[in-house]
Amino acid sequence: MNDQTHPKSARMGGRAARRAARAAKLADHLRPIRPGLTGGAFRPLTEAQMRRIHTAALELLETVGLADAPASGIAALTAAGAELGADGRLRFPPALIEETIAGANREITLCGRDPAHDLHLGGSRVHYGTAGAAVHMVDVDGRSYRDSTLQDLHDAARIADRLDNIHFVQRPMVPRDIPDPFEMDINTVYACVSGTRKHIGTSFTEGAFVGPALEMLHLVAGGEEAWRARPFVSNTNCFVVPPMKFATESCLVMEECIRGGMPVLLLSAGQAGATAPASIAGAIVQATAECLAGLVYVNAIRPGHPAIFGTWPFVSDLRTGAMSGGSGEQALLTAGCAQMHGFYDLPGGAAAGIADAKLPDMQAGWEQMCSNVMAGLSGLNMVYEAAGMHASLLGFCHESLILGDDLIGQALRCVRGIEVTDENISVEVIREVCLEGPGHYLGTDQTLGLMQTDYVYPTLGDRSSPKEWEELGRPDLLARATARKEMILADRAPARLSAEIDREIRRRLPIRLPT
């Protein structure tokens, strides 16, 4: 090549220069991906279709309404302007809905215990995390299912704490070894809080259990005031039993959480074809109507209380009636719901990343990516159940959670999208390479600069050539995930709670996780 002595050759240093460039640590805002990247380039619904869904939801709220509100809810909602019918259903005049939307809290911060993990919901900013109520653990090595335990849950929190692309830790599974509902709820909070400094989501069986949980959270936060200033746990609240009925007990839980300063996820989890209409549009209409009712409820109790619009419609396999969270229909439902959150300009969340596959196999990969990337591209604020979920939410898998970090990293790169700038349009770079340069871009300044800021590299995803792969002994993806799991869990990092606080919590509450 005739440019060996070209003054520019110093910057064409090839492999060594690339290595050096990669060694420098990037500032957070320069990282190629991060929590809160803005999505929204995927819009399966037109403006007119969204308006139509909204109108249909208003019509349902006005004419069908919701049954089964508790007495306290009926009092608050009728005081706000809802009407209680002779059939016991609360109906909502359109004006009440519109006023509620206008006045609702639209920029919510979900705090981490560590402020570095704060999530700023709103707009089309996308965050991924765990969620669910799996009852099984997937044993990858034995290719089998067993009951999930408190230790499994704690380990999941510890693993998620270490994964860059898992932005929050909503409880993904139920500790089956703690049968008492009160102990289960308390230990669930403890297992998560002692495992991660990221934002946590959890649910409560009864309103009476919220108080003791808050007692623990006050201890962890350093007092009630500190907790209320930065609540790092939110309440996943299944406030409806679709179609169009309030879940009486969950509503009471919600009221307690609101009073305790805990953000609420208004979770409407209908299942298209079973507890919601089988049509995608119809399932979105129903979920939207239910969440609007929930939003009125929250704001009737405490105006402006942080609430996440949780339209989580699921999908049935209509051949069997069983849930199919891994389907394309699910991905569309979730993306359509994300657009409705944008339509209302309300912070929202929905489910994605669920596999129907029982194991972290190829099917799991395509199912988890399909809905995760579409959720992100549609600008969903909170992508729940995004990693580790198998068997349509019945099974959770630590290895899958770890691989999900790579999978979601790739989805986030897609959410970030394509920038077009004076510089990266590259006319000058192309001209120089073609007319003056070496005829390739391997060592150009642009290439070296972009390799850190624009490209995402998987942690476990294998990009070796077949030859390298042979030489490496044909590494197995799941075995590598297990190895990483063991490395994370073997790390005796400083306990997440101080010994003093931990002792005090254990003195007051029946904590079952060993110290």
Interface of this chain with its own copies, residues 220 to 279, rule: CB under 8 A = 243-244, 272-279
Told to check if 461 binds its own copies by CB under 8 A, we report: yes
Q: Which is nearer to its own copies, 224 or 454 (CB)?
A: 454
Select from 183-191, 231-239, 254-262, 330-338 the region that touches its own copies (CB under 8 A). 330-338
Let me know if 388 is exposed, middle or buried by CB neighbors in 10 A (0-12, 13-18, 19+).
Answer: buried
CA–CA separation, 274 vs 327, rounded Å?
Answer: 16
Told to check if 405 binds its own copies by CB under 8 A, we report: no
Select from 201-209, 456-464, 485-493, 497-505 the region that touches its own copies (CB under 8 A). 456-464
**Residue pair 57/66 in contact by the 8 Å Cβ criterion:** no
Q: What is the DSSP letter of 287?
A: H
Told to check if 287 binds its own copies by CB under 8 A, we report: no
Select from 120-128, 373-381, 488-496, 506-514 the region that touches its own copies (CB under 8 A). 373-381
CA–CA separation, 303 vs 165, rounded Å?
Answer: 33
Among 183, 249, 317, 504, binds its own copies (CB under 8 A): 317
Q: What is the DSSP letter of 493?
A: P
Told to check if 489 binds its own copies by CB under 8 A, we report: no
Told to check if 455 binds its own copies by CB under 8 A, we report: yes
Q: Which is nearer to its own copies, 123 or 207 (CB)?
A: 123
Told to check if 328 binds its own copies by CB under 8 A, we report: yes
CB of 326 to its own copies, least distance (A): 7
**Phi, psi (rounded to 5 degrees) for 390:** -130, 170
Kindly write out the interface string for residues 46-75 of this chain, putting x where it contacts its own copies by CB under 8 A and - elsewhere: ---x--xx--x--xx--xx--x--------
Select from 90-98, 121-129, 188-196, 404-412 the region that touches its own copies (CB under 8 A). 404-412
CB of 383 to its own copies, least distance (A): 15
Whether omega before 458 lies within 30 degrees of 0, making that bond cis, reads no
CB of 91 to its own copies, least distance (A): 11
DSSP run (H or E) holding 318: none
Q: What is the DSSP letter of 456?
A: -
Residue 419 in 3-state DSSP? coil
CB of 496 to its own copies, least distance (A): 29
Radius of gyration of the chain (CA): 24
Q: Which is nearer to its own copies, 71 or 427 (CB)?
A: 427
Told to check if 434 binds its own copies by CB under 8 A, we report: yes
Report in angstroms the alpha-carbon separations of 105 from 95, 273, 347. Answer: 18, 32, 8
**Residue pair 402/460 in contact by the 8 Å Cβ criterion:** yes
Told to check if 499 binds its own copies by CB under 8 A, we report: no
Q: Which is nearer to its own copies, 62 or 504 (CB)?
A: 62
Q: Which residues of 34-71 are buried (b: 16+ CB within 10 A; e: fewer)?
A: ebbbebbebbbbeeebbeebbebbbebbbeebbbbbbe
**Residue pair 21/253 in contact by the 8 Å Cβ criterion:** no
Q: Which is nearer to its own copies, 411 or 505 (CB)?
A: 411
CB of 298 to its own copies, least distance (A): 22
Among 17, 80, 133, 477, binds its own copies (CB under 8 A): 477
CA–CA separation, 293 vs 91, rounded Å?
Answer: 9
Among 26, 95, 430, 487, binds its own copies (CB under 8 A): 430
Residue 305 in 3-state DSSP? coil
Q: Which is nearer to its own copies, 75 or 430 (CB)?
A: 430
Among 308, 374, 382, 386, binds its own copies (CB under 8 A): 374
**Phi, psi (rounded to 5 degrees) for 84:** -90, 120
CA–CA separation, 81 vs 99, rounded Å?
Answer: 11
Select from 156-164, 196-204, 248-256, 388-396 the region that touches its own copies (CB under 8 A). 388-396
Among 80, 84, 451, 513, binds its own copies (CB under 8 A): 451
Told to check if 3 binds its own copies by CB under 8 A, we report: no
Told to check if 43 binds its own copies by CB under 8 A, we report: yes
How many of the chain's residues bind its own copies (CB under 8 A)?
127
CB of 170 to its own copies, least distance (A): 22
Q: Which is nearer to its own copies, 186 or 240 (CB)?
A: 240
Q: Which of residues 73-92 bind its own copies (CB under 8 A)?
A: 87
**Residue pair 410/367 in contact by the 8 Å Cβ criterion:** no
CA–CA separation, 463 vs 456, rounded Å?
Answer: 12
CB of 307 to its own copies, least distance (A): 23
Told to check if 418 binds its own copies by CB under 8 A, we report: yes
The closest alpha carbon to 446, from 459, 456, 433, belongs to 433
Question: Roughly how many angstroms between the first and final C-alpha of the chain, as a whole number?
Answer: 66
Q: Which of residues 174-203 bind its own copies (CB under 8 A)?
A: none
Q: What is the DSSP letter of 316?
A: B
CA–CA separation, 406 vs 420, rounded Å?
Answer: 26
CB of 97 to its own copies, least distance (A): 15
Among 431, 471, 487, 495, binds its own copies (CB under 8 A): 431
* Amino acid type, 227: W
Residue 38 in 3-state DSSP? strand
